[in-house]
Amino acid sequence: MSNEKTLDIFGHLISAQFIWLNRIKDLPKSSFKLWGKYSLSELRVMVEESAELWLEFIQKQDDFDRILKYTNYVGDYYENNVRDIMIHLVNHGTYHRGQVALLLRQNGYEPVNTDLITYDRVLLGQLKE
């Protein structure tokens, strides 16, 4: 596995966050490709922007139980609860962060801690302030 594969998987993970947020907020389709090619510097900016937009959304949102009606990338129609979509994104992120961590280790790097409780302590703590 190459470093390119690591960037591809992480880019997919972050792109999905933008795609889902745009759907939830009823915005135009995200400009990020689900499996686009992104450099490390592009990914850094994307991560920061995604985190900021999601935190803003969560702080302002008061109806996580509403049903979102949408079509996926191939045009199939679905309806899902916003809360369930957010849970899906956490699971999706966990899965792909695990892949990235494995690829980093295989390439001689030590990945950051990806445990949910660590995320809760550090990032979600900002919401509590």
For the chain, domain boundaries: 3-128
pLDDT at 110 over 60: yes
Taking residues 100-126, report their average pLDDT. 83
Taking residues 120-125, report their average pLDDT. 70
pLDDT digit string (tens) for 13-62? 999 999 999 999 999 999 999 999 999 999 999 999 999 999 999 999 88
Q: What sign has the CA pseudo-torsion 35, 38, 40, 44?
A: negative
pLDDT at 76 over 90: yes
Cβ-contact 1, 103 below 8 angstroms: yes
Q: Shortest CA distance to 32 belongs to which of 45, 51, 19, 44?
A: 19
Was domain 3-128 assigned CATH 3.30.465.10? no
Alpha-carbon span 79 to 24, nearest angstrom: 11
* Residue 94 or 119, more confident: 94
Contacts of 15 (CB under 8 A, 6+ apart): 30, 32, 33, 34, 35, 36, 46
